[in-house]
Amino acid sequence: MKLGAAIPVLNEWRFLPAVAGQLLQVVDRLVVLRGTRAQSGAPTTLTPVPPLDPRIEVIEAEWRSEQDTRNAGLDALDDCEWVFCLDSDEILLDDDLRALVKLCHGDEHQALSVRLRTYWKTIEHRIEPPEKLTASIGVRRGARFTKTRYVDAEPHLTDIWLRHLSYVRTDAELKEKLRLFGHAHEIVPDWYEKVWLGWDADHDMLDLHPTHPPAYRQVVHEPDGELRRVLGAYGVDLEGLSSPAPRRVPSRRSSGPAPGTA
């Protein structure tokens, strides 16, 4: 059985060595889908593509949505029975990746989905409770993405947790992410100043998600040694990601309105 992998990316290269390095242990082909426009429609300057493993194919095009981008990866890898679709800031532990490959060799499923363990600013802080969202990251030939991480086949929900590092960024990187990502128009007003920057002074802040505040209820300090080991094995640079010690405040207050009230 031939396995492929597709990784969408705009300018987010920090964790790509680990994401691609892990996948190259098990897949026959790997493509990086380098978008040439921001899905928010905002103007952007593309950063240079860093040196990559020679086994990686880079495909550049202007895609208008997340599902269009991922489906372009499926098209490029149509000689593969299964394709893993991970973002450039999503990490699987080695045992979990092997478990996914084992599931691919069965005949029962058309798609494989995982739960997300989302980290905040550093790999020592994560969202609790975990967000309810699941993501289809394994797709059998013939299935298609219909919206963001959803496919037109019933996915098998595994017991695997994907390490989601989308919010493990410097202040400047996060501000640029908000400007460029496809949900930019849904962000709670002043979220960057009040929540992202405000959390550094108040680690007890609640309701942190930029578009649906209650989806990120709170942040807990929980170092992940296995995640650190994987990132270290591929030389990922974590410099500049530490946050200052918090200034405790008496009240535990919500940071923003509930969805639909912003």
Query: In this structure, what CATH number is given to the domain that contains residue 26?
Result: 3.90.550.10
pLDDT given at position 241: 78
pLDDT given at position 243: 57
pLDDT given at position 237: 86
Residue 201 covered by a domain: no
Residue 60 covered by a domain: yes
Contacts of 252 (CB under 8 A, 6+ apart): 204, 205, 206
Q: Residues 80, 2: contact at Cβ < 8 Å?
A: yes
Distance CA 78, CA 184 (A): 32
Range of the domain at 82: 3-169+221-234
Residue 113 covered by a domain: yes
pLDDT given at position 160: 97
Residue 254 covered by a domain: no
Domains in the chain: how many in total?
Answer: 1
Residue 259 covered by a domain: no
Tens of pLDDT, residue by residue, the chain (262 residues): 999 999 999 999 999 999 999 999 999 999 999 999 887 788 889 999 999 999 999 999 999 889 999 999 999 999 999 999 999 999 999 999 999 999 999 988 999 999 999 999 999 999 999 988 899 999 999 999 998 899 999 999 999 999 999 999 999 999 998 888 877 788 999 999 999 999 999 999 999 999 999 999 999 999 999 999 999 999 998 887 755 555 544 445 555 544 443 3
Residue 177 covered by a domain: no
Residue 39 covered by a domain: yes
What number of H helices and E strands is found in the chain?
6, 12
Q: Is the peptide bond before 223 cis (omega within 30 degrees of 0)?
A: no
Residue 157 covered by a domain: yes
Q: Is 83 exposed, middle or buried (0-12, 13-18, 19+ CB in 10 A)?
A: buried
Query: Which of left, alpha, beta for 207 (phi over 0: left; psi -120 to 50: alpha)?
Result: left
pLDDT given at position 262: 36
